[in-house]
Amino acid sequence: MTDTSLTIENILAPELTLCRVSASSKKRVMETIAEQIQQHDSLLSDTQIFTNLVARERLGSTGIGQGIAIPHCRLEGLDHVVGVLLTLEEGVAFDAIDNQPVDLVFTLIVPKEATSEHLELLSQLAEKFNERAFCDQLRQCTDAGSLYRRMTAETS
């Protein structure tokens, strides 16, 4: 698992990049994420993913402010990191640190054994999402293809 460094570019699949998703609640966002991952990899359980995401969320909200959330969890039996990017049609309450609704969600599902690589990815994500102009560009995307390209474009 360590022959290539983990980057956003090599964990996010175009099929797991969704633009302007309709979701009425934080719970619905988590269900959508779990369903999408299970559709992408039928060996993974959407119920287990959802349960693990919710359990992690109970420890403290992954809403980092400015409309952004980075839900994440570990998953037994997973042998690679899975990323999911969603923009939401309308912001939903996410118990974010600034109490603002969330409309930009990047989810990270990592193997149960993952440690420093997991933290490094979270750090990369937080750094990218800290750039307001970058987030604005993501929010302006109108289709999954352009959203994927924008998220995985190398910063120059």
CATH number at residue 42: 3.40.930.10
Q: How many domains does the chain have?
A: 1
Residue 32's Cβ-side half-sphere holds a number of Cα atoms within 13 Å equal to 23
Q: Give the predicted TM-score (pTM) of the model.
A: 0.92
67, 103 Cβ separation under 8 angstroms: yes
Residue 26 lies in a domain: yes
Q: Structural domain of residue 54, as residue ranges?
A: 10-152
Q: Among residues 40, 72, 80, 118, which one is catalytic?
A: 72
Based on its alpha-carbon atoms, the radius of gyration of the chain, rounded to whole angstroms, reads 14
The separation between CA 119 and the C-alpha centre of its own chain, rounded to angstroms, equals 14
Three-state helix/strand/coil letters over 97-111: CCCCCEEEEEEEEEE
pLDDT tens-digit profile of 1-39? 344 567 888 899 999 999 999 999 999 999 999 999 999
- Whether 72 sits among the annotated catalytic residues: the reply is yes
